[in-house]
Amino acid sequence: MLSAELITTLAKKGRIDIIRTLKAFPGRDFTINELAKVSKVPTMTAWRAVKDLKKAGLARTRRFGNAISVSITEDREKLRSLRLVPDTDPQRSAARLFAAKLSENPWTSEFRLFGSIGRGEHSPGEEVDVAVVFDEGRISEADAKSEAGRVADGIRDETNVTISPLCIAQKDMSRKGGLAAELRDREVIWKR
């Protein structure tokens, strides 16, 4: 449950927008100007919001020369309370919806985010790269690509977010180096 103090802080203009942006890019440090731009709030609102969120322990800041960088807190208790603030990153939400729908097929084994969204460096409107790991004993690569493309088209029609699926066989995920090594280090959004 959110405390009254936290609710009061989040109720002020721009605070929720800033928190949602910081949650959407957990490994990224923003300057105030970048944070304002990505969050779509005025720069002065972002300054005030960061001051309040830092005081509440929800954001951390560091000084680099004349600039200040802002990121989400690493305090586990604070992060637990932030889970109650809805995730509104449309790309991540669309990726999860894509994984949920395509995972109804028994040949899927896992879904991983990669590309700019997997690195937490995406901007609003960018397409979402999702690796679809499939069981090659149950479906051919061509059929997996066809079905993933069909579901991605449906997600685009429903959410206006473009999903760019990359189908990769389970056996290829165990290879050393190359694409498999990069994908193994990326966020799993669904696994059987």
Q: For 123-182, write each residue's pLDDT tens digit.
A: 667 899 999 999 999 999 999 999 999 999 999 998 788 999 999 999 998 888 778 888
Distance CA 192, CA 186 (A): 16
Domain boundaries of the chain, sorted by first residue: 4-82, 90-191
CATH superfamily name and code, 90-191: Beta Polymerase, domain 2 (3.30.460.10)
DSSP 3-state of 177? coil
pLDDT at 2 exceeding the cut of 70:
no
Question: At 87, is the pLDDT very low, low, confident or very high (cuts 50, 70, 90)?
Answer: low
Q: Which residues touch 99 (CB under 8 Å, ≥6 apart)?
A: 111, 130, 189, 190
Angle at 83 between CA 77 and CA 89, to 5 degrees: 135
pLDDT at 120: 64
Mean pLDDT on 181-190: 84
Task: List the single range of 23-32, 117-126, 155-164 with lowest mean pLDDT.
Answer: 117-126
pLDDT at 26 exceeding the cut of 60:
yes
Question: At 108, is the pLDDT very low, low, confident or very high (cuts 50, 70, 90)?
Answer: very high
Instruction: Give, in words, the CATH class of 4-82.
Output: mainly alpha
